[in-house]
Amino acid sequence: MTRFILASGSPRRRELFALFNLPFDIASADVDETPHDGEAPDRMVARLSQAKASAVARHLATPDGAVIIAADTTVSLDGVPLGKPVDRADARRMLRALHGRTHQVHTALTLLDTRTGNSLTDVATTDVPMREYGDDEIAAYIASGDPLDKAGAYAIQHNGFHPVAEMRGCFANVMGLPLCHLARALRAFGLKSPADIPVACQSHIGYHCPVFADILASITVAGDPHAPAAGIGMPAYHTFEGANP
């Protein structure tokens, strides 16, 4: 039986990956997440997801190997990445900048088979239109403490804030783990989930996804699949949704 390791301490990613009904272990990766000068957000998450997978692989002590699944997510506005806020004032600044505008969420997935050395990186990008929430809503949300550990200072699934106006792309991507992209990547590794991922994802999130069929049917994606991803040498793929080019 294939051993799966989720290289993330995120409760949201653990919750979403559990929908695959595959046994897995958790192994958090400690990597430097500082952006490189002039680095595009999608290239940054590709580099970091690869670094996380490699970091976990270096400390893996099992002769049978495992498939490591690593992810990294960032929010970008006007092409500028927004990481996690450093404090409440920074969270307020981010939420005000995002207010009433459409930004992008980029999540990179890296799969690394430690037995064969095969690896694959896929970057999903989703447009996210924010509603015109008020300063009082921002203050109440920041007081909850929820935005302080989130890229872009928000969680799309937060029951009290509801920051997004209307979603037309991959909701799970904005939560930090695009499940259909992951199912497609597992399929490329010859692996299959016992769960029907589109059904499980939509039921769990309570969202009617308009893009899952296109994602799962896609074989070739935007960009050069043979181009080395930032500094690691693993191939990087890129999937855009909705109104993205």
Question: Cα Rg for the chain, rounded, in angstroms?
Answer: 17
Contact 235, 225 (CB under 8 A): yes
Q: Which residues are catalytic?
A: 72
- Tell me the C-alpha distance between 77 and 214, whole Å: 25
pLDDT 10s digits, 90-141? 999 999 999 999 999 999 999 999 999 999 999 999 999 999 999 999 999 9
* β-strand partners of 33: none
DSSP 18-72: GGG---EEE-------PPPTT--HHHHHHHHHHHHHHHHHHT---TT--EEEEEE
The domain locations on the chain are 4-240
Give the tens place of pLDDT for each residue, 194-233: 999 999 999 999 999 999 999 999 863 323 333 333 333 3
Statement: residue 235 has pLDDT above 60: no
Q: How far are the Cα atoms of 95, 181, 196, 198, 208 from residue 170, in angstroms, in the given order?
A: 21, 9, 16, 11, 10
Between CA 163 and CA 157 the distance in angstroms is 9
- Averaged confidence pLDDT in the chain: 88
What's the pTM? Answer: 0.87
Distance of CA 6 to the CA centre of its chain: 13
Architecture of domain 4-240: Alpha-Beta Complex (3.90)
